[in-house]
C-alpha cells in the first residue's frame, strides 16, 4: 500500500516540478509611463504619431497662409474631416488638435461649429430662463459668424502580400472663404508605413 503511494508520488514529481518552474518563471505584468510624443510603431494602423505629425504640419503650414499672416485674427469654423480610409479614425481628434494649436498661437479665432451648436443654443436658452438675471444673461442673436471654414479628408491605400503590408495615408485640409467661396489655403500630409512579418 505504502509502496504504491510512493510510486504514485514519484510519478507526479515531474509534473509538480514543471508547475513550480512555470510559477517561478511567470513575470507579473509591468505598467510604465511612456513618452506621449514618442514614435509609436506597435501596428501600422493610424496611430498617435500620425495624428501628432498631421496636426503639427497642418498648423504650421496654415500659419503661413496670407489670410492668417495678415494679422486680422480671422474667425474660422471647423467642419468635418471625411474619413475615406478603410479603418476607424477619429478625425475629430485631428481637427481638435489643429484647433488647439492654432488657438494657442493666437493668430486665429474660432466660432462655434456645427457639432457644438446644440450645446451653445441650449446654454443661451437656459440663460434666458426665469432663473437668470436678465441684465447679466447672454442675449440671443449675438453669435459671431465665421469668415472661413476648415474642412478636409483622409484617404488611404493599403496593399498586402504574404509577409508585407504597406499603408499610405494622405491627409488634406482646406480653408474656404465662406463669403465668396474662394479656397484660401490648402495643404497635404503624406505618411507611408510598411510592416514586414518576422
Partner 1 sequence: MNRTWTIVALLAAALAAGCATKKGFEKPGFAFGCPIGDARVSSMEDLVKLKVVSEGKRTTIAPTEMRCTMTGDLLKIDTNLNNDSSRVKRIAYKFRWMDREGMRAWEEEAWKPLLMYENSNITVSAVSPTNKAVDYRLILMSQE
Nearest distance, CB of residue 148 and partner 1, angstroms: 17
Q: Which residue has the cell 479628408?
A: 153
State the minimum distance, in angstroms, from the CB of residue 78 to partner 1. Answer: 19
- Does the protein bind partner 1 through residue 39 (CB under 8 A)? yes
C-alpha cell recorded at residue 129: 430662463
In the complex, the smallest distance separating the C-beta of residue 130 from partner 1, rounded to whole angstroms, is 45
Q: DSSP characters for 77-117?
A: EEEEEEE-SSS---HHHHHHHHHHHHHHHTS-EEPPPHHHH
- Determine, following the binding rule CB under 8 A, whether residue 184 of this chain makes contact with partner 1: no
Separation of alpha carbons 178 and 146, rounded Å: 8
How many residues of this chain interact with partner 1, rule: CB under 8 A?
Answer: 19
Among 52, 74, 37, 63, smallest CA distance to 148 is for 74
Verify binding: residue 60, partner 1, rule CB under 8 A.
yes
Candidates 35-43, 73-81, 150-158, 165-173: pick the segment binding partner 1 (CB under 8 A). Answer: 35-43
Contact status, residue 178 vs residue 147, Cβ threshold 8 Å: yes
Rule CB under 8 A: choose which of 19, 69, 73, 115 binds partner 1: 69
Work out whether 101 is an interface residue with partner 1 (CB under 8 A). yes
d(Cα 48, Cα 125) in Å, to the nearest integer?
Answer: 38
Closest approach, Cβ 39 to partner 1, in A, equals 5
Where along the sequence are the contacts to partner 1 (CB under 8 A)?
35, 37-39, 49, 52-53, 56, 59-61, 63-64, 69, 71, 101, 104-106
Amino acid at each position: 500500500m505504502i509502496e504504491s503511494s510512493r510510486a504514485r508520488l514519484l510519478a507526479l514529481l515531474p509534473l509538480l516540478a514543471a508547475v513550480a518552474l512555470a510559477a517561478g518563471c511567470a513575470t507579473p505584468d509591468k505598467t510604465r509611463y511612456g513618452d506621449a510624443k514618442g514614435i509609436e510603431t506597435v501596428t501600422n494602423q493610424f496611430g498617435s504619431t500620425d495624428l501628432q505629425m498631421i496636426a503639427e504640419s497642418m498648423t504650421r503650414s496654415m500659419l503661413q497662409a496670407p489670410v492668417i499672416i495678415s494679422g486680422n485674427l480671422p474667425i474660422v469654423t471647423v467642419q468635418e474631416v471625411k474619413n475615406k480610409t478603410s479603418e476607424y479614425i477619429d478625425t475629430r481628434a485631428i481637427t481638435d488638435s489643429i484647433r488647439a494649436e492654432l488657438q494657442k498661437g493666437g493668430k486665429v479665432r474660432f466660432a462655434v461649429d456645427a457639432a457644438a451648436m446644440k450645446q451653445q443654443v441650449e446654454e443661451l436658452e437656459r440663460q434666458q430662463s426665469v432663473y437668470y438675471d436678465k441684465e447679466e444673461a447672454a442675449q440671443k442673436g449675438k453669435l459671431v459668424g465665421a469668415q472661413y471654414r476648415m474642412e478636409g479628408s483622409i484617404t488611404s491605400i493599403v496593399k498586402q502580400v504574404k509577409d508585407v503590408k504597406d499603408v499610405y495615408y494622405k491627409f488634406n485640409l482646406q480653408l474656404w472663404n465662406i463669403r465668396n467661396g474662394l479656397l484660401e489655403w490648402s495643404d497635404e500630409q503624406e505618411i507611408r508605413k510598411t510592416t514586414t512579418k518576422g
